[in-house]
């Protein structure tokens, strides 16, 4: 998974990885298949004719990318950009089903213990060198190398052998069936000829990426903008749009002002912006809006290494003290649903039998007392002479999370807990606090992968500096279920395993799972080719286009 700030568009990293999210969903995450994405009828355009090339799209991100070598970053801004630069053997289609991409074909043999792939010939890296099976092998060996600082090695470590069988062919063996076997090969391929002798932590390619995808990096002005130009030699045919521009705007209100001024073409709206600030004839004429439950959730996570949160009774008491429905109503204006675990409500893997902790301040007080916390001066809970006080950390520019923290602050004050709120710029938030475990409690979000394997986020082995289990959750029973789940192929059996896993999380409360928000993307109406599907609206981004009479930019002559 990857920290969620914006959601990748082509490979649907949200369906592959845990991605830490920094802001409201911009519409690239996949909506549930039964939940139709919708746009107002008034925004529909007459037949604009056949697609043409040209123009650019300008988007915004709350925070800058950190590293454009995908395995080395866990923030969604980096993956958002990298997913237009690199290719993978497989990818998800509009129905969130794996399909060939760089691969020409693949076979699943021996009950899933053997995979055979054939790559498409003629795929070229940006420097003209051909992409071959040796690049895939190089990527695999890089991922399993203990010196590679990646949070995503576990899928590759499940491989027992990797063999290049020809210039474009390779096979992968497993000792036992592995549920994420095919998903593993939807990760980006890296260029062997460029990276084989590089120190990955000090290579120019982290900021000058060499890929084979539909776009290539043109400009990166740190903290200001990232510009991608179309790759005219892309093996699937050049994308219609000439350029993609990401503007770094660390505040959603400022972002919206830029949208109104026509300085942005696309962003994810807040509920208030969606419901109250983007209505009327001009908005209906100039923009299209979409709404669907996103593959993502927001949570309050506790640093379990901190003695304050070591007692499970305290964590359950906190759950009883927080009113999730109040947060959904007050922060999301009803455009979201409370949740109890790390999966999307309404999907096959979500455990519908779990009854959430009721909002019950008196029950919370009783549990605190049972854990030794009793009212002291001014009603603040104390234990061994120390007050129950902590700081909730979240990222700057995300009003929803700040408002959520404020509501939680008040509710916890009502039961005798002093809570401070601190916001930090996104890149520093990840590098200096999340990755190092330097926090007491944290509000942030995860994208929700299509496959339910949560090994990288929840297994005890991932509770290490830089690991995705940054809260330090360790539970032997949960570990056993996670290990079993990733080696079970039958969906009914996997359902039983992950239902039991969710029960453990519910009982242990390493996070207080808060809500799954609706994705609320808005897009300039001049863009054509948008076809909402279970994969969201950006799965076919290379097919988006703008009629010639509406274009304002061209790369001609560059």
How far is it, in rounded angstroms, from Cα 199 to Cα 148? 10
Has residue 18 been placed in a domain? yes
Distance of CA 245 to the CA centre of its chain: 20
- Co-location of 404 and 537 in the same domain: no
Question: For residue 272, what is the DSSP state?
Answer: H
User: Among residues 173, 200, 227, which one ends one of the domains?
Assistant: 200
Radius of gyration, CA atoms only, the chain: 23
Axis crossing angle, helix 491-508 with helix 312-321, rounded to the nearest 10: 90
The CATH number linked to 538 is 3.40.190.10
558 domain-assigned: no
Q: Are residues 326 and 183 in the same domain?
A: no
Q: Are residues 341 and 373 in the same domain?
A: yes
443 vs 432: CA distance, rounded Å:
15
Domain co-membership, 332 together with 383: yes
Give residue-wise pLDDT tens across range 326-347.
Answer: 999 999 999 999 999 999 998 9
Whether 555 is in a domain gets the answer no
For the domain that residue 339 is a member of, what is the CATH number?
Answer: 3.10.105.10
The answer to whether residue 316 is domain-embedded is: yes
Q: How confident is the model at residue 20 (pLDDT cuts 50, 70, 90)?
A: low
Q: Using DSSP, how many helices (H) and how many strands (E) does the chain show? A: 16, 25
The verdict on residue 411 lying in a domain is yes
- Together in a domain, 273 and 317: no
255/369 same-domain check: no
Domain with 192 in it: 90-200
Sign, CA torsion 519/525/529/531 = positive
User: Which of 8, 16, 27, 148 lies closest to 65, judged by CA?
Assistant: 8
Q: Each residue of 435-486: pLDDT tens digit?
A: 999 999 999 999 887 789 999 999 999 999 888 999 999 999 999 999 999 9
Residues 6+ apart with CB under 8 A from 534: 30, 31, 32, 33, 94, 95, 96
DSSP 147-176: TS--S--HHHHT-SEEEE-SSSEEEEE-SS
Q: Are residues 122 and 188 in the same domain?
A: yes
Verify that 461 and 362 share a domain, yes or no: yes
Report yes or no on 113 lying in a domain.
Answer: yes
Q: Do 465 and 355 sit in the same domain of this protein? A: yes
State pLDDT tens for residues 247-296. Answer: 999 888 999 999 999 999 999 999 999 999 999 999 999 999 999 888 89
On the question of pLDDT at 9 being above 80, the answer is no
Alpha-carbon distance values, 198 to 65, 142, 203, 206 (Å): 21, 11, 6, 11
Please state the domain count of the chain. 3
**360, 228: one domain:** no
Split at pLDDT 50, 70, 90, the class of 96 is confident
φ/ψ bin of 429: left (φ > 0), alpha (ψ from -120 to 50), beta (otherwise): alpha
Across the range 311-318, mean pLDDT stands at 98
Q: Which residues pair with 402 in a beta bridge?
A: none
Inform me whether the pLDDT recorded for 321 exceeds 90.
yes
Residue 556: inside a domain: no
Q: pLDDT per residue over 51-92, tens digit each? A: 999 999 999 998 899 999 999 987 888 999 999 999 999 999
Whichever domain contains 121, its CATH number is 3.90.76.10
Burial zone of 259 (CB within 10 Å; 0-12 exposed, 13-18 middle, 19+ buried): buried
Last residue of a domain, one of 172, 200, 228: 200
Q: Do 543 and 424 reside in the same domain of the chain? A: no
- The pTM of this model reads 0.82
Asked if residue 444 belongs to a domain, the reply is yes
Mean pLDDT of the chain: 90
CB atoms within 10 A of CB 352: 8
Q: What's the CA gap between 69 and 187, in Å, rounded?
A: 11
Q: Answer yes or no: do 323 and 259 share one domain.
A: no
pLDDT digits (tens, 9 = 90+) for 345-384: 989 999 999 999 999 999 999 999 999 999 998 899 999 9
Cα dihedral 511, 183, 181, 493 in deg (nearest 10): 50
């Amino acid at each position: 998974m990857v920290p969620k700030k914006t959601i990748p568009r082509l490979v649907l990293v949200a369906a592959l990885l845990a991605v830490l999210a920094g802001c409201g969903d911009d519409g690239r995450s996949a909506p549930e298949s039964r939940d139709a994405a919708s746009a107002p009828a008034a925004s529909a355009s007459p037949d604009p004719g056949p697609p043409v090339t040209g123009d650019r799209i300008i988007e915004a991100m709350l925070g800058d990318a950190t590293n454009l070598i995908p395995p080395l970053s866990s923030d969604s801004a980096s993956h958002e950009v990298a997913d237009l630069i690199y290719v993978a053997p497989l990818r998800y289609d509009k129905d969130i089903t794996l399909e060939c991409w760089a691969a020409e074909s693949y076979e699943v043999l021996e009950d899933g213990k053997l995979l055979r792939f054939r790559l498409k010939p003629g795929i070229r890296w940006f420097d003209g060198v051909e992409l071959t099976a040796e690049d895939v092998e190089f990527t695999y060996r890089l991922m399993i190398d203990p010196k590679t600082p990646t949070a995503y090695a576990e899928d590759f470590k499940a491989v027992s052998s990797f063999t290049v069988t020809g210039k474009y062919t390779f096979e992968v063996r497993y000792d036992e069936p592995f549920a994420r076997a095919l998903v593993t090969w939807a990760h980006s391929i890296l260029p062997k000829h460029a990276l084989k002798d590089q120190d990955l932590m000090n290579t120019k390619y982290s900021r000058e990426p060499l890929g084979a995808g539909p776009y290539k990096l043109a400009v990166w002005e740190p903290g200001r903008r990232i510009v991608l130009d179309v790759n005219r030699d892309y093996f699937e045919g050049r994308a219609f749009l000439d350029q993609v521009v990401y503007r770094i705007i660390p505040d959603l209100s400022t972002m919206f002002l830029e949208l109104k001024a026509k300085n942005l073409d696309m962003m994810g709206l807040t509920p208030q912006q969606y419901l109250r600030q983007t209505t009327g004839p001009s908005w209906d004429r100039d923009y299209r809006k979409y709404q669907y439950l996103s593959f993502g959730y927001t949570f309050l996570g506790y640093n379990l290494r901190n003695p304050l949160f070591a007692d499970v009774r305290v964590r359950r008491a906190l759950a009883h003290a927080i009113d999730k429905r109040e947060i959904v109503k007050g922060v999301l204006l009803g455009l979201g649903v409370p949740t109890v675990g790390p999966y999307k409500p309404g999907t096959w893997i979500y455990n519908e039998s779990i009854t959430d902790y009721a909002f019950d301040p008196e029950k919370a007080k009783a549990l605190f007392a049972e854990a030794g916390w009793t009212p002291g001066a001014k009603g603040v809970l104390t234990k061994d002479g120390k007050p129950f006080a902590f700081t909730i950390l979240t990222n700057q520019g995300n009003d929803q999370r700040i408002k959520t923290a404020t509501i939680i602050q008040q509710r916890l004050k009502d039961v005798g807990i002093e809570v401070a709120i601190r916001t930090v710029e996104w890149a520093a938030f990840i590098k200096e606090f999340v990755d190092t475990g330097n926090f007491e409690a944290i509000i942030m979000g995860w994208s929700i992968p299509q496959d339910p394997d949560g090994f990288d986020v929840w297994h005890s082995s991932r509770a290490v500096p830089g690991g995705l289990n940054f809260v330090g959750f360790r539970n032997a029973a949960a570990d056993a279920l996670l290990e079993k789940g990733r080696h079970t192929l039958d969906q009914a059996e996997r359902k039983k395993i992950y239902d039991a896993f969710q029960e453990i999380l519910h009982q242990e409360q390493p996070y207080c799972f808060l809500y799954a928000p609706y994705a609320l993307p808005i897009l300039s109406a001049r863009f054509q080719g948008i076809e909402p599907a279970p994969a969201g609206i950006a799965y076919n981004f290379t097919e988006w286009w703008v009629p010639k009479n509406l274009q304002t930019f061209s790369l001609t002559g560059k």
